[in-house]
Structure 1
């Protein structure tokens, strides 16, 4: 007798999985090209490095093409050694994964079980909460402050006996704001030893020069794990490689939970090459600074109130979900992809990644073309 597909999933799939919302990535360039028949497209949706990967990374990855029939080094010695030398760590303090999200999966498997609690902020990166829910954990969120920042005081007060992991994206995606050294110290003074603090520093390279930014590498708390990635400033989103560091006992247990041979061969080689090319990283940061100033000023000039950011994106309040959706769709017609933020509990906001000079010119031209009709319908957003 045929069985209703929903009945199959009810009997086989745990509620913690069936009830998950699927992560929504930024619209791919090829998809928009097919839909609209466009040839000029600027993707400003996924906070990627518009300059692309380092030539050093490309060189190393190309060498690896001849070894694709071989498994990679399961322990990724060369990459761990490069990271250990850069940050003055022991190899035992490092864990690697397929993007920082891969390591988040290891953390969910290692530290969480049904009924345990993850404490985080609203309006933050949803990747870890998806993985935590898949492990059966309960998610508790606290509201952000009025200026789109983590409310550290509220988080400290929200810690309970069931709290197992505190997730902090610093800088935060999608708001681009960050918690300061003073705020981080205050929070840690309230965190008991049985609680793991997970710091997601995907945008660390963009924020590291802020005087009051708490570079977690200078902190050596036993119950803190920091995650960073090669997907943003290093331009290796397509090969998926991230890293984490913390107490060697925690790293040892995480390595038990990870799949062998992650990251893959090409990712390991590309990451080593990227770390060697410091000038490429510096060019990336310089371009980001220039485009941030141009874009922030453009948005303010045209009646918007962008959120000040220390990352490679700017988040913009739109006044309503309808205005957010309208701007997103109007820009798609012009070949510009930005990111609506409904999935991040911010339906009345959009996020604009910072691209090359030419890509931002494309964005500015598209905005100037559509703004008269847009503002006629939705008003001035200042």
Structure 2
């Protein structure tokens, strides 16, 4: 399969709402760290520098009421790489060729699994969310080595509510590994604290789980480091993954330095998630919007060519036909003024 990349434009007069990136750019603390360390990029990042970032992640997660230790964390070149670590680890352990994913969810799961020769079983979504009962039924029937979900779900923005998630994880066959991709955790965590739609969202790490679970997270979204590529995997097999799967210098020096400081910039994170909360309220007022817990909204549109008409008005959104959502666009939460411009032009196009 070909990976469905977002359309890229360098022109500064475009409003970019198609890649779920941070509309405020990058943390000033991270930018300062990058500037201060540019002269050192001839150096390989040390193990001690890796450990500093891991320690900062542990401290950050304590603020989210999650207890992990640095020995459970594996750093990667973006969350894509740690998802690949998970796939390679599952192949080593179970040597079975089947993987289960949700149909029309994050394309990288299928893309990466197929690159290792695995058979991908896609379970259809139900009302834009996971059909957890069907996934369990499919797993018991097919004995997959791996099951991969994202929570919140890309591209629908839905979540698996906490009780359903806990039951789902505990009912999956014990001889399959589960990955819960939490790339949009920071946004959902804040929305949950704001009582967005009730107290319904939890990380899998916050639940009463009776089996090993793998969690992937990223610095790309809330922390604005998409271009540097920094992600991490949390699991009880991190030592084995680091010794046998992860390359020794997989994360670049500037990503390490920027990540260490970005995670300390609580003001920048707060600004980002507050803007997202307010932006979602605007986007979800649009007819056809699917309620979201992430930093984007999936919208069913009545006008077939609205993607190109928005592009002609210097606004880029994601055309979701390539994901199998015909008649839908996905709109990232930009700055409030960008969202207001989008809303105005969107409604103008529909009324023409």
Normalising by structure 2, report the TM-score.
Answer: 0.90
1:79 aligns with 2:53: yes
Q: Which has the larger radius of gyration?
A: 1
Contact 2:6 2:318 (C-alpha < 8 Å) held by counterparts: yes
Q: Distance in 2 between matches of 1:68 and 1:170?
A: 35
Distance in 1, matches of 2:252 and 2:43, equals 11
Distance in 2 between the 1:117 and 1:188 partners? 18
Deviation per CA, 1:285-335: give whole Å up to 9, x if none.
1111111112222x1xxxx3110001110001235xxx45x1111111110
Structure 2 residue matching 1:96: 3-state secondary structure: strand
Helix, strand or coil at the partner of 2:133:
helix
Q: 2:299 aligns with which of 316, 336, 347?
A: 316
2:240 is matched with 253
5 Å matches for 1:277-356?
A: 277-297=265-285, 299=286, 304-318=287-301, 323-324=303-304, 326-356=305-335
Cα deviations by residue, 1:172-192 (Å, 9 ceiling, x for unpaired): 000000001111122123212
How has the CA–CA distance of structure 1 residues 368 and 193 changed in structure 2, closer, same or farther, with 3 Å as cutoff?
A: closer
Say if 2:85 is the partner of 1:96. no
> Which structure 2 segments of 5+ residues have no match?
62-66, 193-198
> Does the 8 Å contact 1:97/1:263 carry over to 2?
yes
Q: Secondary structure at the match of 2:291?
A: coil
Q: Aligned partners of 2:170 and 2:88: how far apart in 1?
A: 27
Is the contact between residue 74 and residue 260 of structure 1 (CA under 8 Å) also seen in structure 2?
Answer: no
- Equivalent residue for 1:116? 97
**Alignment correspondent of 1:218:** 206
Aligned to 2:172: 191
* TM superposition shift of 1:355: 0.3
**How far apart are the structure 1 equivalents of 2:289 and 2:41?**
45
1:68 and 2:41 aligned? yes
Q: What do residues 337-358 of structure 1 show as CA deviations (whole Å, max 9, x unaligned)? A: 0001123221221100010122
Q: CA deviation at 1:84?
A: 2.5
Q: 1:172 to 1:120 in 2, by over 3 A?
A: same
Q: Deviations over 1:54-90 (max 9, x none)?
A: 1111111212211011111246121112112333422
Whole-angstrom distance in 2 between the partners of 1:329 and 1:200: 31
Unaligned runs of 5+ in 1: 1-20, 34-38, 374-382
Q: State how far apart, in whole Å, the 2-side matches of 1:368 and 1:151 are.
A: 33
Size of the aligned set, in residue pairs, is 334
Mapped contact 2:96–2:144 kept (Cα < 8 A): no
**Structure 1 position 245, deviation (Å):** 0.4
Greater CA drift, 114-123 or 278-287? 114-123
